[in-house]
Amino acid sequence: MMLLKPQPAGPDLTTKDLVREWVWKEMETRDLARFPRPCRGRIPNFEGSKKAAEFLDAVEIYRKAAAVFVGPDLALKACRDQVLADGKVLGFATPGMHELKEFGPGAPRRDTSIRGLKRYGSPVRTAVSVVILGSVAVDLEGNRIGKGRGYGDQEVAWLRDHDLLLDGAVCLTVVHPIQVFDGFSPLMESSDEVMQWIVTPEEAIAVTL
């Protein structure tokens, strides 16, 4: 049974930008955003991100994965830490997708802060079965809205084009419940990656397509 009550994508939210602005405003107004603030223009770092990372283990394919790719957003730092704590190879992109790298089990420095992602790691070479992306908003059909620059979709496309996505690989996003909507599929484009899982600080939700 799903715990959260999704936000209605009402008649006022008719574009991706309007959805973004609603989320950013609500997260600031309700004090759900964490450093860096204001969260406008960003993938919001949210209250409960560390707890959400603990729910990754509720996703079977994550438990079985030997390697996981995680976006560079601060909201996902706890996920990057969890991947390494679980003994998996961590693949990642630096901000702006300047480099795609990984931390293997034998890496001498495995600093998962944004600064550490820039300084350490070796070129990504390990195929992954799970990709974890940050979002501004996501709906229960797995449609994801990022901050508007397309990096998340480009990261997945790059992995696919370089044969670094294993057969059956899934994408999931980690968000605060306020970022989850009942549906905004008319706003999406063919290049937008669809998520198979939504993870919050309270639960892991399998998307029903």
153-169 per-position pLDDT tens digit: 999 999 999 999 999 99
The answer to whether residue 16 sits within a structural domain is: no
Q: Please state, rounded to an integer, the average pLDDT across all residues of the chain.
A: 94
203 CB-contact burial (10 Å; exposed 0-12 / middle 13-18 / buried 19+): middle
pLDDT recorded at residue 200: 97
3-class state of residue 131 by DSSP? strand
The answer to whether residue 34 sits within a structural domain is: no
pLDDT recorded at residue 89: 97
pLDDT recorded at residue 106: 80
Total number of domains in the chain = 1
Q: Could you list the residue range(s) of the whole structural domain that residue 166 is in?
A: 48-206
The answer to whether residue 17 sits within a structural domain is: no
Of 93, 26, 31, 90, nearest to 56 by C-alpha is 90
Amino acid occupying residue 99: E
The answer to whether residue 33 sits within a structural domain is: no
b vs e for 77-95, b when ≥16 Cβ sit within 10 Å of the residue's Cβ? bbbbbbbbeeebbbbbbee
CB 76 within 8 A of CB 174: yes
pLDDT recorded at residue 208: 72
The answer to whether residue 165 sits within a structural domain is: yes
CB 112 within 8 A of CB 80: yes
The answer to whether residue 180 sits within a structural domain is: yes
7-38 per-position pLDDT tens digit: 888 778 999 999 999 999 999 999 999 999 99
176-199 per-position pLDDT tens digit: 999 999 999 999 999 899 999 999
pLDDT recorded at residue 1: 65
50-94 per-position pLDDT tens digit: 999 999 999 999 999 999 999 999 999 999 999 999 999 999 999
For residue 137, what pLDDT band results from cuts at 50, 70 and 90? very high
Domain of residue 110, CATH code: 3.40.50.10420
The answer to whether residue 70 sits within a structural domain is: yes
pLDDT recorded at residue 209: 62
The answer to whether residue 3 sits within a structural domain is: no
pLDDT > 70: what percent of the chain? Answer: 99
Evaluate if residue 172 carries a pLDDT over 90.
yes
Give the β-pairing of 100-103 and 122-123: antiparallel
Backbone angles phi, psi at 80, to 5 degrees: -60, -45
For residue 2, what pLDDT band results from cuts at 50, 70 and 90? confident
